[in-house]
Amino acid sequence: MDLKRIDAAIASYARSGDQDLADRLNFFRGIWEIQNQYAQKAAGLSCCPSVEDLKQWYWSGEILLGKVSYEVAVDELAQIAADIAQYLVEQGSFDDDVMQTFKRLDWVAFLGTTDIALATKRPVDYLDSVIEVLKDNDALVRDDFIIVVLSLALRAVLDPVAHQLLDPIKKQVIKESVDRTKLTCCPVCGGKPAIAVVGKTEANSGNTRTMWCSQCGTSWDYERLGCPHCFTHNQEHLHYVNIDGDETHRLYYCDECQGFLRTTFDVAEIPSRNDVPLSFEVEDVVMAPLNLVAEEILN
């Protein structure tokens, strides 16, 4: 995680004078701090697959984490989750049932009842399996918050490994001109893209759409045009909306599959973006209100 970039982006947005946004970013800054602390301590992979293998798996759409042997101990994941839950409780702005849930929860005992080996192989499936475990536990009333905290804790464990797996091939795969429609989900962990960015990136000077996975922090190139969920290129079925005339943050949606993607643009695309440095984490929070817009459109 790049806390320097996060802080630069937060400082930039602060100059807009939007106090509500500043408060939300400040709240998440505390979570990123905890995640970053543990990400730096995480063991990572002891040895990495060859570049050839990585590229082959990447293009065939196989989840890279499933190809390596990487495990997290129950105690380790439980400690990160407990720290994040503690931070949420200290912030104090949640309902009583959320507070009670976290106070009652023994993370080590609870995570011991889950399929922990799956957590670092297929995190999306792991979180789904934890939802099933929670259905049998009536004492923990706020399942949704437990899943959110667990997902945030997993990010700290997966982040360094995501870099180990993708950094060696990132610049190469960006240059290859092949069909990218297999890359609708994160190549490292299989998560759905949280947001997209159109424009240049650190690894790419061209005009592309970069997807970002909030579960492991991976960003990857995707086709610039078309729906990333059903692949339609029918422009009449693809639309976007934004809030209060803010052209730099848009919710794209597709009539054919009801799919959504929150998207932002770099400076070269939209000069009014000014000097805000691109941080995927920060943009994810900035574009959170567009999730409500998506719900309204769906209903």
Distance CA 169, CA 237 (A): 34
DSSP type of residue 124: H
Pick between residue 72 and residue 216 the one whose CB is nearest to Zn ion. 216
Pick between residue 149 and residue 216 the one whose CB is nearest to Zn ion. 216
* Strands (E) located in the chain: 195-201, 204-212, 219-222, 238-241, 249-254, 260-265
Can residue 238 be called a binding residue for Zn ion (CB under 5 A)?
A: no
Listed in sequence order, the residues at least 6 apart from 242 whose beta carbon sits closer than 8 Å to its beta carbon are 249, 250, 251, 290
Backbone φ and ψ for 207, nearest 5 degrees, come out as -105, 90
Pick between residue 171 and residue 239 the one whose CB is nearest to Zn ion. 239
Query: Which of these ranges, 96-104, 125-133, 210-218, 264-272, lies near Zn ion under the rule CB under 5 A?
Result: 210-218
Can residue 192 be called a binding residue for Zn ion (CB under 5 A)?
A: no
Contact 237, 243 (CB under 8 A): no
Q: What secondary structure does DSSP assign to 162-186, as a single string?
A: HHHHHHHHHHHHHH-----TTTTS-
Can residue 213 be called a binding residue for Zn ion (CB under 5 A)?
A: yes
Can residue 144 be called a binding residue for Zn ion (CB under 5 A)?
A: no
Pick between residue 21 and residue 254 the one whose CB is nearest to Zn ion. 254
Contact 229, 219 (CB under 8 A): no
Can residue 229 be called a binding residue for Zn ion (CB under 5 A)?
A: yes
Query: Which of these ranges, 64-72, 165-173, 200-208, 216-224, lies near Zn ion under the rule CB under 5 A?
Result: 216-224
Of the candidates 77, 254, 276, 294, which one interacts with Zn ion according to CB under 5 A? 254
Footprint of Zn ion on this chain (CB under 5 A)?
A: 186, 188-189, 191, 213, 215-216, 218, 227, 229-230, 254, 256-257, 259
